[in-house]
Amino acid sequence: MGKNDKYKKAIEELNLFDDDFMKLVFSRHKELAIEIIKPILAEALPQLKINYDNSLEITPEADQINLGGHSVVYDVAVHCEGTDIILELQKDIGKFSPKRGRFYNSSKDTELEKGSSYDELPTRILIVLALGDIIGNKRAVNRYAMMNIETHEILEDGQYVIYINCLSEDFPEAYEESEKIIKDLLKSDPETVDNEIYKKILREYKVIDKEGDDMGTPLRELMDDYADEKVSEALKDKNKELKNKDKELRNKDKALEDKDKAIEERDVKIRQLEKILKENKIEIPKAV
What is the reported pLDDT for 7? 64
Residue 244 vs residues 52, 70, 113, 216: alpha-carbon distances, Å: 55, 32, 50, 42
Residues 6 or more apart whose Cβ sits within 8 Å of residue 65:
71
Nearest to 16 by CA among 27, 5, 6: 27
pLDDT for the residue 288: 54
- Specify the DSSP class assigned to residue 110: G
Going by C-alpha positions, the residue among 3, 2, 22, 6 that lies closest to residue 14 is: 22
Question: Residue 84: its pLDDT value, please?
Answer: 93
Most confident range (mean pLDDT) of 5-14, 71-80, 175-184, 263-272 is 175-184
Greater model confidence, 90 or 215: 90
The torsion angle over the Cα atoms of residues 144, 150, 154 and 157, rounded to 10 degrees, is -90
What's the pLDDT at 281?
73
Look at residue 266 in the predicted model and tell me its pLDDT: 87
Tell whether the model's pLDDT for residue 227 goes beyond 60. no
pLDDT of 27 reads 87
Which residues does 274 contact at the CB level (< 8 Å), separation at least 6? none
The DSSP symbol for 13 reads T
Terminal CA-to-CA distance of the chain, rounded, Å? 83
Burial-class residue 187 by CB neighbours within 10 Å (0-12, 13-18, 19+). middle
Worst-scoring range by mean pLDDT, 30-44, 82-96, 200-214?
200-214
Helices (H), the chain: 5-12, 19-28, 31-44, 98-107, 176-185, 196-206, 217-279
Angle between helices 196-206 and 5-12 (to 10 degrees): 160
From the CA atom positions of the chain, what is the Rg in Å? 31
The span from the CA of 228 to the CA of 38, in Å, is 36
Task: State the average pLDDT for the chain.
Answer: 84
Given a contact cutoff of 8 angstroms between Cβ atoms, the answer to whether 184 and 172 are in contact is no
Instruction: Decide if 124 contacts 109 (C-beta within 8 A).
Output: yes
| Whether pLDDT at 221 is above 70 | no
| C-alpha span between 102 and 153 (Å, rounded) | 20
Contacts of 55 (CB under 8 A, 6+ apart): 79, 80, 81
pLDDT tens digits, residue range 39-69? 999 999 999 988 888 768 888 887 777 667 7
Q: Which residues contact 205 (CB under 8 A, 6 or more apart)?
A: 11, 21, 24, 25, 215, 216, 218, 219, 222
pLDDT at 1 over 50: no
Going by pLDDT thresholds of 50, 70 and 90, the confidence category of residue 210 is very low
pLDDT level of residue 213 (50, 70, 90 thresholds):
very low
| pLDDT band at residue 212 using 50, 70 and 90 as cut-offs | very low
pTM of the shown model: 0.72
